[in-house]
Amino acid sequence: MVTGADCNRAVEEIKRSGVEHSLHLNLSEGTPLSPAESVPLLVNRNGEFAHSYPVLWLKAVLRKKFREQLKMEMDAQISRYRELFPAIEGMWLDSHQYFHLIPPVWDILMDFFRDGMPISGVRVVNEPLLFLKSDWRYSLRYCFSLNMIKWFWLRLLSFRAVKKLEKLKQTGRSPDYNRAFCGMLYSGNMRRELLTLLARRCTGKPQYTAEVLFHPGGASPDEIDIWKNQPSYGKFYLSPFRRQELEELLKQEAALPPERPER
């Protein structure tokens, strides 16, 4: 996330370790890369992103100027990522809280693809309904939660996005996309066993690209002021589930889904 306060240190660590990476577009947390005076419709009086998912969607539909400022900020973040990683020929792209799947935002991305911007792949939420029989109470709790509604809507938005990508293939400028995903329905409280279920779904499908989303990165209590104007984010990063998800990732007994091809 190139808008992050600790972005430079993260880039150094990525280059040192050689870990795979992608651009995590951000239109909802903290401050934009663009000067606040250049994107006043996107920010509040503190210069921070001001809009929730449905509000940004509505404003982007209704106001051309709003879409222009969105495009400016998205272009700034993509350009910054390319500056930080000049050696890569094409980038994979996703977004904070799946904002890139909002139809007006996705349509801006489609313009970028048509213009030949070097984006080689993009995340969609092709997430099957995974149910842990070994802990049915855990799964049932999420199947009857707000996450289930989000899962349904993101599946619909991803269907729309994939249709547009497949149509763009005729021009030879369509980026790739993941064929499977895991991390929306159980977002914030993922378990390693879910990866095993996803791997079984992908068995026998060698062309499948799978993405799995965990949130192991937490914060310490003395960092809470970073989110003083956006307390819901602070609550998320300070949740004990961050440590729990890290421990789940470190487990060795469960199988991982197929690796994504090199990019």
pLDDT of residue 255: 47
**What does the domain layout of the chain look like in residue ranges?**
1-122, 124-263
pLDDT of residue 31: 96
Query: Which range, of 54-68, 159-173, 245-259, averages the lowest pLDDT?
Result: 245-259
3-state secondary structure the chain: CCCCCCHHHHHHHHHHHCCCCCEEECCCCCCCCCCHHHCCCCECCCCCECCCHHHHHHHHHHCHHHHHHHHHHHHHHHHHHHHHCCCCCCEEEEEHHHHHHCHHHHHHHHHHHHCCCCEEEECCCCCCCCCCHHHHHHHHHHHCCHHHHHHHHHHHHHHHHHHHHHHHHHHCCCCEECCEEECCCCCCCCCCHHHHHHHHHHCCCCCCCEEECCCCCCCCHHHHHHHCCCHHHHHHHCCCHHHHHHHHHHCCCCCCCCCCCCC
CATH of 1-122, one of 3.90.1150.10, 3.20.10.10, 3.20.20.370, 1.20.1050.10: 3.20.20.370
pTM across the whole model: 0.89
Distance CA 217, CA 21 (A): 15
pLDDT of residue 207: 67
Q: What is the token pair recorded at 84?
A: 């930080």
pLDDT band at 26 (very low <50, low <70, confident <90, very high): very high
pLDDT tens, position by position, 127-182: 999 999 999 999 999 999 999 999 999 999 999 999 999 999 988 888 999 999 99
Which one is predicted more confidently, 253 or 154? 154
Query: Which range, of 60-64, 175-179, 228-232, 257-261, averages the lowest pLDDT?
Result: 257-261
pLDDT of residue 250: 87
pLDDT of residue 254: 46
| C-alpha pair distances (Å), 169 with each of 42, 106, 127 | 32, 16, 23
Mean pLDDT of 98-123: 96
pLDDT tens, position by position, 185-228: 999 899 989 988 998 888 777 667 889 999 888 888 888 888 88
pLDDT of residue 261: 45
Whether residue 259 has pLDDT greater than 60: no
Nearest Cα neighbor of 190 from 255, 230, 139 is 139
